């Protein structure tokens, strides 16, 4: 009986340790990406450009001329702040809020997810040179690649719908 209990404890410890090792946080997680993503390029009026090193650290975002030298991380290795953006996470490691400041504007964006961990709504509000703004975007997903990353979705803002696609390359 004691030997069976000891084997069970060792098995649970081994499985837990193996899971924790495979669940290493990378910057790809902050941006909702899965697998060995090398780069993401948004198409069709979807402005996104992300590039990652092989280990998952971000190289740059949106503008290839802006390098993220000022990245602050929390004790789990997650991006806490990056140049003009601050990130906040829930207990599942999903970004729930992003604060952006600069050029006379301050915007808070809140993210809402479905059971699969996909952003289904984002609400941005803030103050800037043009006054107070609030924008709500809802997303529906049409296509995914073999890693589960979306490659086509529809974004709806008010009555306007936009199809967003993106190209993802992998290591």
Three-state DSSP state, 21: helix
The b/e string for 29-45 (b: 16+ C-beta within 10 A; e otherwise) is: bbbebeeebeebeeeee
Query: Average pLDDT for residues 155-167, to the nearest whole number?
Result: 95
CA atoms within 13 A on the CB side of 91: 0
44 touches 165 (CB < 8 A): yes
Averaged pLDDT, 125-140: 92
pLDDT band (50, 70, 90) for residue 63 = low
User: Residue 5: which H helix or E strand, with range?
Assistant: helix 2-22
- How high is the mean pLDDT of the chain? 83
CB atoms within 10 A of CB 96: 15
Using alpha carbons, select from 160, 163, 131 the residue that is nearest to residue 150. 163
| pTM for this entry | 0.78
pLDDT of residue 24 exceeding 90, the answer is no
pLDDT at 47: 80
68-124 per-position pLDDT tens digit: 557 889 999 999 998 789 999 999 999 999 999 988 899 999 999 999 999 999 999
Domain boundaries, the chain: 2-170
């Amino acid at each position: 009986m004691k030997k069976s209990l000891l084997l069970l404890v060792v098995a649970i410890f081994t499985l837990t340790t193996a899971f924790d090792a495979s669940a290493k946080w990378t910057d790809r997680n902050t941006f909702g990406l899965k697998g060995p993503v090398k780069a993401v390029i948004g198409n069709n009026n979807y402005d996104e450009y992300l590039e990652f090193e092989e280990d998952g650290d971000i190289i740059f975002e949106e503008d290839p001329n802006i390098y993220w030298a000022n990245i602050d991380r929390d004790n789990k290795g997650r991006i806490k702040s990056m140049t003009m953006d601050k990130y906040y996470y829930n207990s599942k490691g999903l970004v729930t809020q992003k604060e952006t400041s600069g050029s006379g504007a301050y915007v808070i964006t809140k993210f809402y997810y479905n059971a699969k961990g996909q952003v289904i709504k984002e609400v941005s509000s803030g103050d800037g040179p043009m006054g107070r703004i609030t924008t709500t975007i809802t997303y529906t997903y049409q296509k995914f690649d073999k890693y589960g990353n979306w490659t086509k979705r529809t974004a709806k803002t008010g009555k306007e719908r936009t199809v967003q696609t993106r190209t993802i390359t992998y290591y």
